[in-house]
Amino acid sequence: MELRIKSLSKTYPNGVKALENISLRIPKGMYGLLGPNGAGKSTLMRTIATLQEADSGSIHLGEIDVHNQKQELRKVLGYLPQEFGVYPRESAANLLNHLAILKGIINRKERKELVSALLERVNLYDHRKKSVSGFSGGMKQRFGIAQALLGNPKLIIVDEPTAGLDPGERNRFYNLLSEIGENVIVILSTHIVEDVRELCSNMAIINQGKLLFNGSPNDATDAINGKIWEKAIDKNEMENYNAHYNIISTKLVSGKPLIHIHNETDPGNNFKLIEANLEDVFFTNILGIENQKAA
């Protein structure tokens, strides 16, 4: 099964173009949707999930026409939004049982077995009697994945799932998503480059509603290899380097700015050629590096 998005556009009443002629083909597996906050990722996810309408374009999941068969799509959709609300006093088991009923799983015995199996799968069975509102951030996200798996979905959407998680919780979440992505389409919408690098075999970068890249992370880094240069400079040199080079990122290392620039050829001035990574791809695309500045 494949998700096909064709010429999707959405402009809000205030004039903001959230999506501009987006076309994607998303196969089974983990697919990363990368972009800064406000890029249009959540608008795209909500449109796919039938929570809002596009102005134009089409979406198909296999034979399902998403715009015209919303209920059919919802039957095979698992959705974990950026803000996942829970009932404050309900236990994990009771809440998942309630959500299973809403999903149409009526048989009590089947529902009980499913709830137990899902809580076991996300490593929350031992906490099934605890209130979800008292869970840690990572536990809430794992519960969110459990509810997204109700009904044996063919498409799962997770929107900014690892923001605020500590490294241990993040790793557990990575492992769970990777396992799920072996059998279904999982779209991971995030602004965290590491999430995509760790998890996804295919990805897209969008910004200001426009598609900037679509392909594999390896293809993305291959496209700019040989063009990314690095140098540590003094803080008082930043203004001069900004004026003369295509600086795509800066981070402080031992108190000194370490800058990455995009340049087709050796810029001289003691810059060091480095192997491009996905973060370099992200910033190169977001900044729209085209013409090189002359040093």
Whole-angstrom Cα distance, residue 90 to residue 99? 12
For residue 96, the one-letter residue type is L
Q: Read off the pLDDT band of 86 (50, 70, 90).
A: low
What is the CATH topology of the domain spanning 3-216? Rossmann fold (3.40.50)
**Inter-residue contact 194 to 170 (CB < 8 Å):** no
Question: What is the average pLDDT score of the chain?
Answer: 90
Contacts of 213 (CB under 8 A, 6+ apart): 203, 204, 205, 220, 281, 285
Domain residue extents for the chain? 3-216, 222-287
Q: List, as own/partner pairs, every contact residues 192-197 make where C-beta atoms lie below 8 angstroms and the sequence separation is at least 24, other chains included.
A: 192/162, 192/163, 193/34, 193/278, 193/279, 193/282, 195/32, 195/161, 195/162, 196/32, 196/34, 196/278, 197/277, 197/278
Residue with tokens 């998890």: 199
Residue 295: the pLDDT is: 40
Q: Read off the pLDDT band of 289 (50, 70, 90).
A: low
pTM of the model: 0.86
pLDDT tens for residues 126-150?
999 999 888 888 888 889 889 988 9
Whole-angstrom Cα distance, residue 225 to residue 214? 17
Higher-pLDDT residue of 165, 123: 123
**Range 5-26 average pLDDT:** 95
pLDDT tens for residues 197-256?
888 999 999 999 999 999 999 999 999 999 999 999 999 999 999 999 999 999 999 889
